[in-house]
Amino acid sequence: MAEVLITLKVMPDGTEIDIKNLEKLVSKEIKEFGGRIEKVEIEPIAFGLQALKIIFSMDERKGSTDALENKISDIDGISSVEVTDVRRMIG
């Protein structure tokens, strides 16, 4: 089986949420799920709101990321979690 590269877009509840702290909490959940963080980006949205884009890899045998998305959306200060991209890694 191969590895997959997944991009998660995490939206905070508002501009007052500490995005760096959110990054630590989300990264912890991804690592516990069996993922490996590849890249983290902070994307400006509007009016000071920023989204957290986390790209991570995991074994495709793990299957769906639904359980991970549910755990992340339960974190205090997170409005939504969305998988925006899934790619199979070759090589």
Pairing, β 49-59 against β 36-46: antiparallel
Instruction: Write out pLDDT tens, residues 33-79.
Output: 999 999 999 999 999 999 999 999 999 999 899 999 999 999 999 99
- Say if residue 21's pLDDT is above 90: yes
91 vs 61 pLDDT, higher one:
61
Residue ranges of the domains in the chain? 3-56+66-89
pLDDT of residue 89: 87
Rounded distance between C-alpha atoms, residue 74 and residue 65, angstroms: 14
Query: Do residues 53 and 37 lie in contact, with contact meaning Cβ atoms separated by under 8 Å?
Result: no
Q: Compute, in degrees rounded to 10, the torsion defined by CA atoms 17, 19, 22, 24.
A: -150
Residue 19 binned pLDDT confidence (cut-offs 50, 70, 90) = very high
**Residues 6 or more apart in contact with residue 64 via CB below 8 angstroms:** none
Query: Do residues 11 and 5 lie in contact, with contact meaning Cβ atoms separated by under 8 Å?
Result: no
The CATH class for the domain spanning 3-56+66-89 reads alpha beta
pLDDT of residue 63: 87
pLDDT of residue 81: 97
